[in-house]
Chains A and B, each alone.
Chain A
Amino acid sequence: MNEIALPVVFPLLAAVAILVLRRWAPALALAGATLSLAVSLWLMGRVAEGHLETLLLPGLPDMPLRLTAEPLTALLTVVIATVGTFVLIHSVGYMKQESGLPRFYAVMSLFLAAMQALVLAGDWVLLLAAWELIGLCSYLLIGFWFQRSEAANAASRAFLYTRSADLGLYIAVFILIGSAGTSEIAATMNVGGSVAVAAGLLLLLAAMGKSAQVPLQDWLMRAMAGPTPVSALLHSATLVAAGAILLIRVTPLLAPGVLLAIGLVGGFTTVTTGLVALAERDLKRLLAASTASQYGLMLISIGAGAPLAALLHLVAHAAIKSALFLAAGDFQHARGGTGFDRLESVGRIRPWAFAGFTLAALALAGIPPLSGFFSKDAVIAAALSAAGAVWLAPLALAGTLLTGAYLARALRLLWRGAGGTRPVAGAAWMGVGVWGLAIPAAALGLAFGPIEALLDLPAPEAEGAWAVLLGLLAAVSGLALGWLVPARRLLGPANPWAQSGLTVAGGLTAVVGRPAMAVSRGCERLEDRLYAAALRVGRRGLTIARGCERLELSLYAVVLGAGHANLAMGHLVRVGDERRIDGLIFALVASVRAWGDRARTLQSGLIHHSLAISAVVTAVMLLILILASLRF
């Protein structure tokens, strides 16, 4: 079953093709994404019929790389391919005026491939590789406008933050493979005891980095310096989701204590970043804070032991938040920026985009019958029924309330006031992108029933009317508060603290962030040392390469010699014709003697030459033997 690899392969081919051809970049990227979407849908259909597939690829000894198609992974590929396709459609319009498009589309396609590989990965090694690749793509895409120091700094910061949190993933994977003896993810879920606790906490650290949980949320806010399609794809629906996806996939491993820790991290994040969002003065940064807040909600439900609710919210959020970002991209083009002071009344000027934005915002706030209502209801139900409900339920409700409040505030700021517009190029493409995601954002609730039936994940136990009632109450009152009361009054004394957003991170930096930065600095130093070592290896390599060059020259001489021998052969035949057989034999002798002379030149008498030749032949012998023993 090699079809599993296709969702990964198509975008990858697109990336390679773009880099090679350097033209038709948007078309190629779109083709890759669309094909990936088609294959994902087909794969989903097959999985829904009950075909579970695994593809083994040669990897480390005894640890093959594996791609697994099961309900969870198939569903996630569909989500990623869908969001990816519409975001790419949108970027055709959004990026119309930019230069360096091949780079943009190639990295976007590479990112899609890596992300698909990450969700399909059935073993830790592949997952780790994909995890690193999406981090790299994120770095490259945030820094797309690397000429702006703000973007370049944001890219480095995002990379460093996530990389240092990735240490958790590395150690966890080492622990898991070490104790389970296999790299297959499903097989490592059986370890128990302190190993499981340690691994769970380390995985939580990695997920906190990728999913921008407090105190590691700062990079996500700054990542908004990148192009808006990048924010829509990477920093809302996919890359940021990797943390939550990781935790959902390892649910069987998580011990009760770890679950509570996850829930508390999520709860804390959802409230603090919700407050930050409420005070934010830039639309994209508001959406970024909201993203962190929504992933906090997902972590709450994972912590409550209901990963299904988290997954539903993840799917709904992917469509909703991408649609919001894409609409924000539209506004950005209309006004040349994303600060709210510039965006006043933009809603009335770009009604279609604003309608899509509103629809998605209401869905995120949790207004029935839009998708967010169902997913948020599931999250709240999970929090209410969890073991740590005393902690989790109030946090989840507060998060919901804040969601409504900051979204209502954003809508109000976008609607009121006055301002002009400037021509928006490629608006049609962007409109398709926005609505292509806004419609699923609204209607996804219908699909939740089949998804629940398909997935084999623990669901929230109590689906009581309480959860619905409380959730709706929180959402509506949040919306009302946000629309009616100015944020400054709402936040009161917390306003300056929330407004800067940084103080949250700054205050926490002292407690948690600074050690993290110390670790990251240590890593940097380690990397420096590794770099120096690599440099040394590289120099050696250069020496070897020079040796190879010399070898090549001598090979060239040999080839030349062969050519001469051929000429000599021709000469030989002629001589044979002219001078009969004895002449032929003498010519043969002469050519063999010439070969002997060549053999003598190898024997230069310099011992390091001799040793080098011996070493090269030994290395060739070793290489041939090893290649022969692999026999794949």
Chain B
Amino acid sequence: MGRDLALLTPEIAVLLTAVGALIAEMLRRPRISLALAAAGLLVATSLTVPLLGTDTTVFGGSFRIDALSIWAKLILLPATVLSLLLARNDIGGTVREGTVYSLICLATFGALVLAGAGDVMFLVLGMLLTSLATFALVAYPDDDPATEAAMKFFVFGSVAGAVMIFGLSYWFGATGSTLLTDLARTDAMPLAAILGLVAVVVGLGYKASLVPFHFWAPDAYEGAPLSIAAYLSVVPKVGSLFALTQVVRDLPVDSGWPAVMAGLAVLSMTYGYLAALVQDNVIRLLAYSSIAQSGYFLLGIVAVGSSELALPSIILFAAAYAAMNLGAFAVASATGRTLEEFSGLGRARVLTGIAMVIFLLSLVGIPPLSGFVGKFLLFAAAIDVQFTWLAVVAIINSVLSLAVYLRIVMPMYRPAETTTVAPATWPGVVVMITFAATLIIGLAAQFFLAGR
């Protein structure tokens, strides 16, 4: 028990941080709440570092301390801190400001639970924790678009959650256990295995906004504060994709899950980019782009269990995705929500413009940026398990994605039509940090790959 708790100190720290932020808010000290949340999450991150290399489970196998869950903390906790900084820019000065920080910490806690789930009950718990906190976050502005977005998000989430819990009961019925490691026993009962699999795909696919469970995402991103949209596009998504990885690691391959993942990957990538191509709103464009990026994650998930490249590729792409996507949202936060507002940005604010171009090129997957390394590894993993066709589809989609992201870049270098306001402090900071991360992750990983 003592050992288990010691291994869980980062999670406990996140939880305490959430509580601390809430207490500070109750004392009407929102700045302290923010500082406490950011500091607590950074402490949790540093507490995670010594765990690197551990591969064990706690609480009788129901929670895993392995590469996935540790790297989830190392990626998602800093990403959450950056989201907090963006949030300060968005909602600073509103009443109940501190509750946002607290809820963000709680949602992150849920994502971490998902990423380390070794038991279907943890899947449910993580899903509910994340969902409930994010529903409230989306609805925070208390205006019509936000309420509508939150309502859609909520209805979709309740349906998906109910379906997931219902389907998971088949797994429990088939194996008599809630542990994921016992899923191998569903071999004898293909129907139960399939029903459970489909339910998990519905539940986690909704969280990760995979097509066709993505419908809430563009509306929620558009209606929610920008920082919350940025947060939603990274933390819960990565958490649930990691959870999906945890689940399929233990599923028998012959239940057909790789084919399902491949199909969803094609749908998500293609649909996401096609829809992004016709958006005039930068946030909706980024929302569809993030839907497509979820599809890329699935390339790595397809290879789980059969290829050594699978886990490194997923983790690396998660890190790259967190950096570049947060960066793009941070630029949008400093600039505006429509494509018109971006025109002339590259001339008016040269550095921000360069950073945005780098983020977008990284999202396309241009070397030597981090997105390239991540996608490269994902393609390699998919080819490694004879899903070459899937890699080809993904590469074709990358070409399509260039057209999508160039739609933002092109107006940026038109002659300025409007004078842009001076950038706020926090988004600038976030842009700088993510910019550095995007470059460093890419370069470091390439050195690492070259060394192999």
Contact = CB atoms under 8 A, between A and B. Distances in A.
A610 B277 contact: no
A161 B358 CA distance: 82
A611 B151 CA distance: 13
Given A592-B277, A618-B212, 17 more contacts: A589-B403, A592-B274, A592-B403, A593-B277, A596-B276, A599-B271, A603-B275, A607-B151, A611-B159, A613-B212, A613-B215, A624-B256, A624-B259, A628-B256, A628-B259, A629-B190, A629-B191
A614 B274 CA distance: 18
Given A593-B278, A596-B277, A611-B159, A625 B260 contact: yes
A465 B219 CA distance: 97
14 contacts: A596-B274, A596-B276, A596-B278, A600-B275, A602-B271, A603-B218, A610-B152, A611-B215, A617-B212, A617-B267, A621-B198, A621-B201, A622-B195, A624-B256
Contacts of B194: 622, 625-626, 629
Given A611-B159, A614-B215, A595 B274 contact: yes
- Minimum-distance CB pairs A-B, first 9: A610-B215, A596-B277, A596-B278, A629-B190, A599-B274, A617-B212, A599-B275, A625-B194, A596-B274
B386 to A, nearest CB: 17
Interface of A: 589, 592-593, 595-600, 602-603, 605, 607, 610-611, 613-614, 617-618, 621-622, 624-626, 628-629
B406 to A, nearest CB: 10
A297 to B, nearest CB: 50
A593 B259 CA distance: 29
Interface in B260-279: 260, 263, 267, 271, 274-279
A625 B156 contact: no
A602 B215 CA distance: 9
Nearest to B153: A607
Interface in B352-376: none
B202 interface: yes
A613 B213 CA distance: 9
A589 B198 CA distance: 36
Contacts of B429: none
A66 to B, nearest CB: 23
Contacts of B260: 621, 625
Nearest to A610: B215
Nearest to B215: A610
Contacts, number: 80
Contacts of B202: 614, 618
Contacts of A629: 190-191, 194, 255-256
A598 B190 CA distance: 37
* Residue of A595, A599, A613 with most chain B CB atoms under a 10 A cut-off: A599
A592 B195 contact: no
A629 B253 CA distance: 12
Interface in B377-425: 400, 403
B275 A596 contact: yes
A625 B213 CA distance: 18
A614 B216 CA distance: 11
A148 B284 CA distance: 72
A593 to B, nearest CB: 6
Contact of B219 (A597, A600, A605): A605
Main SS at interface, chain A? helix
Interface string B196-230: 01100110000000001101101100000000000
B155 interface: yes
Contacts of B156: 607, 610-611
Given A607-B156, A628-B256, A629-B191, A622 B271 contact: no
Contacts of A596: 274-278
B278 A599 contact: yes
Contacts of A617: 212, 267
A613 to B, nearest CB: 5
A567 to B, nearest CB: 19
Nearest to B152: A607
A626 B278 contact: no
Contact of B212 (A589, A597, A614): A614
Given A593-B278, A596-B277, A605-B219, A614 B263 contact: no
Contacts of A618: 163, 198, 201-202, 212
A614 B155 CA distance: 13
B263 A621 contact: yes
A80 B271 CA distance: 61
Contacts of B277: 592-593, 595-596, 599
Contacts of A602: 271, 275
Contact of B213 (A589, A595, A614): A614
A626 B400 CA distance: 34
Nearest to A608: B155
A603 B215 contact: yes
Contacts of A593: 277-278
A605 B217 CA distance: 11
A625 B197 contact: yes
A101 to B, nearest CB: 46
Given A607-B152, A622-B198, A600 B215 contact: no
Nearest to B254: A629
Contacts of A600: 275, 278-279
Given A613-B212, A614-B212, A625 B278 contact: no
